[in-house]
Each structure stands twice: as C-alpha cells, then as structure tokens.
Amino acid sequence: MSAPAKELRLAMLGMIEGNGHPYSWSGIINGYNPTEMAKCPYPGITAYMGRQPLEAIRIPGARVTHIWTDDPADAPKVAAASLIEQVVARPEDVIGEVDAVIIATDDGDDHVRRARPFIEAGLPVFVDKPMATNMADLRQFAHWHHEGKTLLSTSGIRYAPEMRLSESQRTHLGDLRWITSFTCKTWERYGIHALEAVEPLLGTGFVSVQAHSDEGGDVMHVTHHSGVRLTLGALHDAYGSFGAVHLYGTKGDLALKHSDTYHAFRAQLVAFIHMLQTGVRPLPFDETVELMAVIIAGIRSREQGGSMIRIADVLHEL
C-alpha cells in the first residue's frame, strides 16, 4: 500500500487595504473559527463564508501553516480567524518551512518584489491577480517561467460557476458577436476580473484595446481575432454591479451575474493545489501573459488619450 500523500504546507503573505484574501483564502483552505471570523473587517467575506456549512469548509491535501501581513497587527487576527498556526515576523522566514507561497495582494506593480525571494528559493508561488501591470515586471515573471520556476496567477472569477455556459445556452446565443463585462474599482486592480470572466469563452487572440476614461473610471473597447468585440467597464464606485456580464450572439443574448464568490475562490485554490500535487497547470502561462498585456494596453491607451494599442506590440516588448 502506498503512503498517503503529504499535506502541503502553504504560506499566506501580504495584506493591503481593500483586499481581505488572507482571511477568506486561508479560511477556505483550513476551515475557520466563526467567532474570530466575525471580527473580519470585510463583511462580504463573513457573509459568503457563513452561507456554507462550517463542517464542509476545508480543502484536503493542503493547509495554510504560516501568515505574514504588511501591518503586523493584522496577522494574529487572520491566524485566529483562519486557524493558522504560525505568525512570522518577516515573509522570508517561511523559506524552508513551507512547500509553496501565496502572495495575497492585488497590486500588480508590486508583485515581483514580493515574489522574488520565494521564486529564487525555488518555491512555487501563486500571485493574486493581476500578476503584473507594467512591462518590466511582466518580463521578469516571463523570465522566471522560462527558467522553469513554478508560477500561477488567476482571477477567481475565471472559476465562477455562473460563467460556465451550458450547451443549451450556447445554442441559444449562436455565434458570439459582442460581450460586455463589468467590474468596480480600478482597471489596474480589478480590470482582470472583467477580462478573465469572459476570456475562457474566447481563448487567446486579443488584438487591440482602446480606452475611454474619466475621473470615474474606464471603459475599454477590446477586439479579438475571432471578430468578437468586448466592452469592459471598470467604474470605481459601482460595487453593486461587479461581475455583471452580457453576451450577445447571432441568435440571442444572455445576461450572467457572478454571485457565488465562495465556490469561485475555492475552485481557484483547488486548481493551484492540484498543480502543486500533479505539476499540471490549469491554464498555459502564455495565456496569463496575454491577459496582462491587455491590462497594460488599457493603461497605455488611457495615458495616451484613448489611442488604440495593439496587443501584439505590447507582447513584442517581451
């Protein structure tokens, strides 16, 4: 009889304003203490975690064993809520103690700095979306990948149950012609949600991005080699409309709305853990690189007053 697989030890590293993933992701993997989780400063997390049977919340085969947060006062609170055994004084203290690292911050201009010690130590790293929002950092991640380092970065909405079309829905739509997809907050931090919600329907092959921007946010007009047009909105304060998608086809249209955050995040984390266990990636790294190129192209278009930016030109800089 073969020995049971070793439980993977994970480190949850980093927490910045507006992002409570260390609470939710750690709790989804480990299970959680309801009394302590009730103190979480993000009420949305306590709401969607609380809708699940407590005894069912756990991902077998892995455990978050170590936590570090930017504000040292936060780490003991996350540890108590999400059943994490070790609070470390420095993120690098987890090297030699864990099997993989999760960078739980969503600032795409700061992920190379945060990930570097662990990648260079040979640890697999999951990077919260967006992986990189500037070319220098995207080049660095691509370099690490080509060196054989283990890296993954995705939006949880890629795994949202509501975004998976049935055969009857596909038949109803016919051939896709236009997609609208919406997020709150900024294009830099949350545009990847609007993009990755619908990219699995189309695959790679984005052609261009053109920004229409004002102080309230951005509307990005995106073209795809298939001929499908996309309008991706990132309006800062429209929190209630997050995750709204509309598909327009030759035969019909279809409105989708992301609402099941728990199962989207759980599937995202299961995909990373499965990759650690098997070596099989949930999606090609080059697909993530193209998604980052779309985000970067949107930033450039906005900075250039709405110029059309070709994705091939951005990718050529790699």
Mean pLDDT by 10 residues, the chain (318 residues): 75 96 98 98 97 97 98 98 98 98 98 98 98 98 98 97 96 98 98 98 98 98 98 97 98 97 98 98 98 98 98 98
Q: In the chain, list all ranges with CATH 3.30.360.10.
A: 159-259+293-316
Using only the alpha carbons of the chain, give its radius of gyration: 20
Q: What is the number of other CB atoms lying within 10 angstroms of the CB of residue 90?
A: 9
Q: How far apart are CA 312 and CA 221, in angstroms?
A: 16
Quote the pLDDT of residue 257. Answer: 98
At the topology level of CATH, where does 8-156+263-282 sit?
A: Rossmann fold (3.40.50)
Quote the pLDDT of residue 186. Answer: 98
**Is-contact 19 105, C-beta < 8 A?**
yes
Pairing of strands 244-249, 151-152: unpaired
Q: In the chain, list all ranges with CATH 3.40.50.720.
A: 8-156+263-282
Closest CA to 290 of 213, 221, 196, 212: 196
Q: 112-152: per-residue pLDDT in tens? A: 999 999 999 999 999 999 999 999 999 999 999 999 999 99
Q: How far apart are CA 38 and CA 25, in angstroms?
A: 15
Q: How far apart are CA 224 and CA 72, in angstroms?
A: 44
Q: How far apart are CA 202 and CA 228, in angstroms?
A: 8
Return the structure tokens found at 258.
């992301």
- 3-state SS class at 183: strand
Quote the pLDDT of residue 1. Answer: 47
Quote the pLDDT of residue 4. Answer: 54
State the first-to-last Cα distance of the chain, in angstroms, to the nearest integer: 48
For residue 32, which amino acid is it?
Y
Top-level class of domain 159-259+293-316: alpha beta
**CA 140 to mean position of chain CA atoms:** 19
Quote the pLDDT of residue 128. Answer: 98
